Amino acid sequence: MKITQSKAKDLMTTISVEVKAEDYTEKVDETLKNYRKTTQIPGFRKGKAPIGIINKQYRTSVVIEEVNKLLQDELYKHITEKKLRVLGSPMPIDSKPIDWEKTEDFNFEYEVGLAPEFDVKITSKDKLNYYKIQADTKIVDRYCNDIAKRYGKMSNPELSVEGDLVFCSIEQLDISGKVMGNGIKNDATVAMDYITDLKIRNQFIGLRQNDVVIINILKAFANHADLGAMLNVDHKAIHNLVSEEFQFTVKNVNRLEPAKLDKELFDKVYGPGSVNNEKDFKARVKSEAEVQFVRESDRMLKNDVVNYFISKLKLDMPNNFLKRWLVKTSEQPITMEMLEKEYDMYSKSLQWQLIENKILEKYQIKVTQDDILSHAKKLIGSQMKQYGQPESDDKKLTEIANDILKNEEEKKKLYDQMFDERTLSFYKENFKLNEKSISYDDFVKLASEKS
C-alpha cells in the first residue's frame, strides 16, 4: 500500500491511496474460508461447498468490504501521523466507477480541507466593554409588582375590568354566524393583556357571567403560539382556520388582587424579621435583580469575546471545500444556493471552535473528572442545606454525586456549567474590561442591536 500527499495550497491538500492486491488478498481468502465453514449452500453439506462456489457468490462483496476498511484505516492513520488538522472529513474525488470483479489494484484520491495555522495572545491591549446593569426605580417597581401579584389573592367580581382574567367557553362560528358543528371548541381563560387589538380588548371590559362576545380571533391575538394553547390546537391549525370568527361565552370573571407591600408580604417572601419596611424591601429586590443581571452581562461579554476574536484574527478558511462538503454530507437535501444563506453563520461558528480550542490548549483551561465530582458534591450540599436536611459527610456526598454522574446528561450539564465558569473567569481576568453602567431597558436595546 502506498499513500502520498500533495503540497498544501490554499488550506487544501490531496491524499492518494494506492491499494494493491497483496494488501487485501490474504484477509479476503481468510474471510471466505470462514464463510465456507458456516454457510449452507443448497446441494452441499454445511462447510463442504467448493471454495469456487463461495468465491463466485461472496468474493466481490468481501473484497469491497476489506478494501474500504483498509482504506479508511490507512487514511486516518496517515492523518494522525502527519498531525493534519482536518476540517470536515476527507472527501473522495469523483472518478470513474470501479469494476470490482475485474480490478485488483485500486487508486483512491481524497480532497482534504485543512485548518489555518494561527496563534492567540491576550494582553492588556485587548479591550472590551463590560456592562453593569443597574436596577432603576422602574425595574424595581416592576419586580415588586410581580411579587405582589404572585402572593396576591384571586377574587370573582361580577363585572370585568381591564387586566382581569375572563374564563370563557370558546366556539368557532360558520359563515352565517352559527356555532360550527365540527369547529374548534374549548374552555379557556382569556388574559386581556394578551389581546393585541385595543378595540377587541375593550370588548372584554364590563362583562358578566353568560355575556357573549364575537371577535375575529386572528385579529385579537398576534401570538399564534399562545392562541393555539388557548384553543387547544396546534400551530398548523391556526394557519388553516376555516373561519376566523369565534364566540366567547363568559363563564366566570377572575381578578388577581395584588398583595399589599406590607410586613405580612415581606415575611412571606424573605422570612420573618428579615425585612421590616418597604424601603428595605425594595433595596433587597434591587440587589437580587442586579445579581440576576450579572448573568445577562456575562452572556454579552462572552458573545463579544467571540466576535472580537473572529474579527481580530480573520482566519482564512477552505470555504469552497467546506461548502461542497456540507452539501454532500447534509442529512437533508440542500443546494448550494440554500447553503449560501447560512454559510456565514456556519463559518463563524467553526472559526470560533478553532479559536476556543487554541485558547484552551495554550492557557491550559480544562475541566477534569475530579472537578465535576467536586462541583456536584457542592451543589448537593447546598441543596441539603436549603431544604433543612442534616449535613452529610464527604463519603456520603461522594456516593450521591457518583450516582448522579452515572447519568450522562446530568454529567454533561455539570461539565458545561464548570466550563462556562472557567472560560468566563479567564476572559474577565485577561481582557482589559471597561465597565459601563447601563439601565436594563438600554441593555436590552443594545443586545437587540448586537444580535
Task: Give the angle subtended at the CA of 440 by the CAs of 436 and 444, to the nearest 5°.
Answer: 95
Mean residue pLDDT across the chain: 92
In the block, which residue shows the cell 370573571? Answer: 253
The per-residue pLDDT for range 90-131, each reduced to its tens digit, is: 999 977 889 998 899 999 999 999 999 999 999 889 999 999
Domain 153-257 has CATH 3.10.50.30: yes
Instruction: Please give the Cα distance from 28 to 63 (Å, whole number).
Output: 6
Domain assignments of the chain as residue spans, ordered by start: 2-114, 153-257, 290-450
Let me know if the fold of 2-114 is the same as that of 153-257: no
Predicted pLDDT at 36: 85
Which pLDDT score, from 0 to 100, does residue 407 have?
Answer: 92
| Segment among 49-58, 240-249, 250-259, 441-450 with least mean pLDDT | 49-58
Q: Which pLDDT value is given to residue 415?
A: 92
pLDDT on residue 4: 94
What's the pLDDT at 92?
93
DSSP letter assigned to residue 39: -
CA distance 137 to 111: 61
CA–centroid distance for 112 within its chain: 29
Report the sign of the C-alpha dihedral through residues 279, 284, 290, 293, in that order.
Answer: negative
- 170-215 per-position pLDDT tens digit: 999 999 999 998 999 999 999 998 899 999 999 999 999 999 999 9
- Average pLDDT value for residue range 77-96: 92
- % the chain with pLDDT above 90: 76
- Strands (DSSP E) along 217-326, which ranges? 245-257
- Give the number of other CB atoms < 10 A from CB of residue 274: 12
Mean pLDDT of 217-228: 91
190 beta partners: 166
- β-sheet bridge partners, residue 19: 106
- For 3, counting Cβ atoms within 10 Å of its Cβ (0-12 exposed, 13-18 middle, 19+ buried), the class is middle
pLDDT digit string, tens, across residues 385-435: 777 777 778 888 899 989 999 999 999 999 999 999 999 999 999 999 999
**Can you give the pLDDT at residue 65?**
94
- At residue 384 the predicted structure's pLDDT band, cuts being 50, 70 and 90, is confident
Residue 331: pLDDT band by 50, 70, 90 thresholds? confident
Q: What is the dihedral of CA 384, 390, 394, 396, to 10 degrees?
A: -80
Mean pLDDT of 326-338: 88
Geometric angle at alpha carbon 376, from 373 and 377, rounded to 5°: 85
- Please answer whether residues 415 and 372 qualify as being in contact, where contact means their C-beta atoms are separated by less than 8 angstroms: yes
Average pLDDT over residues 297-314: 96
Residue 78 near residue 5 (C-beta atoms within 8 A): yes
Given CATH 3.30.70.1050, say whether it is the number of domain 2-114. Answer: yes
Ranges 25-29, 334-338, 407-411: which has the least confidence: 334-338
Distances (CA, A) of 314 to 45, 119, 445: 69, 12, 28
Confidence at residue 44, expressed as pLDDT on a 0 to 100 scale: 81
CB-based contacts of 157, cutoff 8 Å, min separation 6? 164, 253, 255
